[in-house]
Amino acid sequence: MAYQVTMPQMGYDMTEGTINRWMVEEGAAVARGDVIASIATEKADIDIEAYASGVLRKILVQPGSKVPVGQTIAIIADPAEELSEPPAGGEDPAAEGSAASAEPPSKDPVSSTKSGKPTRTKPVGEQPDSTPGSTPVPDWAQQLAGHALEPAPAGRSHSAGGRIKASPLARRRARELGIALEGVQPTGPDGRIKAEDVEAASRGEAAAPLRRSLGVAPQFDPGDPSEALELSPMREAIARRMAESNSTIPHFHLTTEARMEALLRLRHEMNQLGDAELPKFSVTDFIVRAMALTLQRHPSLNAAWIGHGVRRFSQSNIALAVALPDGLVAPVLRGCESLTFAALSRQAHDVAARAKTGRLRPEELSGGHTAISNLGMFGVSQFSAIITPGQGSVLAVGEVREVPVVLDGQLAPGHLLALTLAIDHRVTDGAQGAEALRYLRWLLEHPTACLV
């Protein structure tokens, strides 16, 4: 039996991926578990494994091509088996939103990949099921996508019943980008709107009247020399998710300053131990540990708005923002409250290093309950960060500043660290957030408590 290898969905907001390279050639034998391709997602480069043994009979998508989630990119089959191939490069509407699979059938049609996401095997010729639980769309975006801002051109992308013909992925992208389908020029078969058409409309003149109606049309001087930059998948993801966050999450911000003299002394002493088994501890290590303990002490902060309600978590899963040349990525440290200080420091340093080389594992890119963004190394004294959808808060950390402080009524040199906590107001309120931030500050000012 032949099996399809499909573009996997690594994260609830992933809609497409790019083929980096094929690790095996067409016609080569593969075994279950072999890495057969590398793909680039919005967050990292990820290897795809074969979930069936056989021969890589057909490669349907070449390196450099963008592919919607769920589209077939290759076929694994027996050498002599006759294939009924899906069209190469075409959109498979029913497959949009499904996870990758090339796994042989079993008694239970649902299995799991290494990332823990359920997948359904699908022999060639069988239409895969669409996966529920795609990115939640705010009410205003749904209303916008369903409301025509201008009359639709006659005879374009409408079925006999007047319904616009568009793929599910195209409808999703239209909601995310705020584009009315009535104004999109279709290029698909029989006047069908594809996701690429919506993307083109969002960048081109076709979207200009829609954006003017929204009051967000880009304004620039045509005489001012400029160029349009091609966005990387990561930059597009950041733009989409931050716009979603800013428009759908009601942020409120709390700021405090922590005295850092005791922490800096303790860190210096620990780093002078000369133990090769211990990492060189950083201020960020103490902040991550303090946040992990704070989430346990104040569970109202260890929660997020998921779907239509609040979900409270038991573990302290913390995303650590890492700056990259083209944006940032936030790998997640899981169960931080149960790790020793040294183990937590090792993990934080490890994921930060692998994030900079694009070698994070899929499971490290999701599941965070809060995030920490530290810009102190860039000389930033204080700032506010934006909450990532699916999380309930984010802590913005500035630099440790040497400043005069009042100590027992006398001026003395001191070190202060500004901390700004952004919280989703749907999840908790100002008083609870202030109590949590006060406890976080206490931990940093009494750093031995972070070692327990």
Which residues are identified as catalytic?
A: 425
Q: 225, 181, 232: which is closest to 202 by C-alpha?
A: 181
Cα(145)–Cα(275) distance, integer angstroms? 60
In 329-451, alpha helices (H): 341-356, 430-445
- To which residue do tokens 């919607």 refer? 68
201 CB neighbour count, 10 Å cutoff? 24
Take residue 82 and report the two structure tokens written for it.
Answer: 């006759």
Q: 318, 321, 338: which is closest to 330 by C-alpha?
A: 321
- To which residue do tokens 């980096």 refer? 20
* CA 53 vs CA 100, 191, 222, 259, 393: distances in Å: 16, 39, 57, 60, 44
DSSP tag of 137: -
C-beta separation of 164 from 185 below 8 A = no
Q: What phi, psi does 226 have (nearest 5°)?
A: -160, 170
Cα(69)–Cα(92) distance, integer angstroms? 9
Q: What phi, psi does 439 have (nearest 5°)?
A: -65, -40
Cα(376)–Cα(400) distance, integer angstroms? 7
Q: 66, 37, 59: which is closest to 49 by C-alpha?
A: 37
Cα(335)–Cα(288) distance, integer angstroms? 12
Q: What phi, psi does 102 have (nearest 5°)?
A: -145, 40
Cα(132)–Cα(153) distance, integer angstroms? 32
**What sign results for the dihedral spanned by CA atoms 91, 92, 97, 101?**
negative
Take residue 336 and report the two structure tokens written for it.
Answer: 């931080």
C-beta separation of 446 from 289 below 8 A = no
Q: Which amino acid is present at 269?
A: E
